[in-house]
Amino acid sequence: MKKVIHKADSRGFADHGWLQARHSFSFASWNNPERVHFGVLRVLNDDTIGPNMGFGTHPHNNMEIITIPLKGTLKHRDNMRNDWQALLPGEVQVMSAGTGVQHSEINGSVDEHLSLFQIWIIPQKQNVKPRYDQKAFKAEDRNGQLQVLVNSFDDSGEEGLKIHQDARLSRIDLSEGEAFTYHLKSLNHGVYIMLISGEVVIEGEVLKLRDAIGISETDSFNVATKTDTELLFIEVPMINF
């Protein structure tokens, strides 16, 4: 088993006033050559966006972009005929940028901050037709069990939003003193685990709020909670670039 530990305070940080951004991997002006990607996981940004503020229209291409709002209301607009769609906590958004897409994202509230994770995964197919999708997931469906949010188009038997990569994003909520074993799809995959809230022990490593651990070269690993805990699992092929 191979492990990499990323403590919350070791992440990159950018204060733009309206945007407080924390980067698990090199992004924008924060460049850490030892933290460029985890397999095909390229970006995991933990953003807090001020009321009525956001990202103006900007381009993406050949990237699978996943947004998970944690608090507040995100509004999304793009050049694929999607005009200011709301995305709420409990919902997930995917966008296959493919041959190219232009989009904008703003905080849809005039008085509350917006908190979200934005995740970029390198696709296995280039120059696909751009697409957008979003879906609501019930919180009770992840109590003590994995709730799959996103997976590959090739995983036709699994629920969840689809992307062009052999990846799987899932969440689980565990109670204090609860144990859980995660099983990977293959030995060629690794899992990047972000602790949304709580405190856990994963394979002997104690993790607290917004700490993360990457695990690879194994078929499973164990999680034991010290408090009520929310976890995000990002399982990806461990391809080197």
Q: Residues 16-21: what's their mean pLDDT?
A: 95
Range of the domain at 182: 2-237
How much is the CA Rg of the chain, to the nearest whole Å?
17
Instruction: Please state the rounded mean pLDDT for residues 171-190.
Output: 97
Partners of 68 in the β-ladder: 117
Confidence of residue 223 (pLDDT cuts 50, 70, 90): very high
Q: What number of other Cβ atoms are within 10 A of residue 141's Cβ?
A: 13
Q: How far is Cα 163 from Cα 190, in angstroms, rounded to an integer?
A: 17
Q: What band does 100 get if pLDDT is binned at 50, 70 and 90? A: very high
Confidence of residue 157 (pLDDT cuts 50, 70, 90): confident
Lowest-confidence pick of 31-45, 130-144, 153-167: 153-167
Side-by-side strand order, sheet with 2-6: 2-6, 212-216, 189-197, 229-237, 168-174, 147-152, 161-163
Say yes or no to pLDDT of 159 above 90.
no
**pLDDT, average across residues 86-115:** 94
Q: Which residues pair with 180 in a beta bridge?
A: 223
Structure tokens at 28: 């924008």
Q: Judge whether residue 81 has pLDDT over 80.
A: no
Instruction: Tell me the percentage of the chain whose pLDDT exceeds 90.
Output: 88
With beta carbons less than 8 A apart as the criterion, state whether 67 and 92 touch: yes
- Is there a contact between 88 and 29 (Cβ–Cβ < 8 Å)? no
Looking at residue 180, which CATH number applies to its domain?
2.60.120.10
- In sequence order, the 6+-apart residues with CB closer than 8 A to the CB of 232 are 68, 117, 169, 170, 171, 193, 194, 196
Exposed (0-12), middle (13-18) or buried (19+): which is 30, by Cβ within 10 Å? middle
- The β-bridge relationship of strands 147-152 and 161-163 is parallel
- pLDDT of 224 reads 98
Q: How far apart are CA 72 and CA 65, in angstroms?
A: 19
pLDDT interval class at 56 (50, 70, 90)? confident
Mean per-residue pLDDT of the chain: 95
Cα(111)–Cα(40) distance, integer angstroms: 36
The pLDDT value given to residue 240: 79
Which residue is listed with tokens 């038997």? 157
Whole-angstrom distance, CA of residue 65 vs CA of residue 99:
14
Number of domains within the chain: 1
Q: Rounded CA gap, 138 and 168, in Å?
A: 18
Q: Average of pLDDT values for 125-132?
A: 95
pLDDT score of 151: 97
**pLDDT (average), residues 35-60:** 95
The pLDDT value recorded for residue 172 is 98
Contact 68, 92 (CB under 8 A): yes
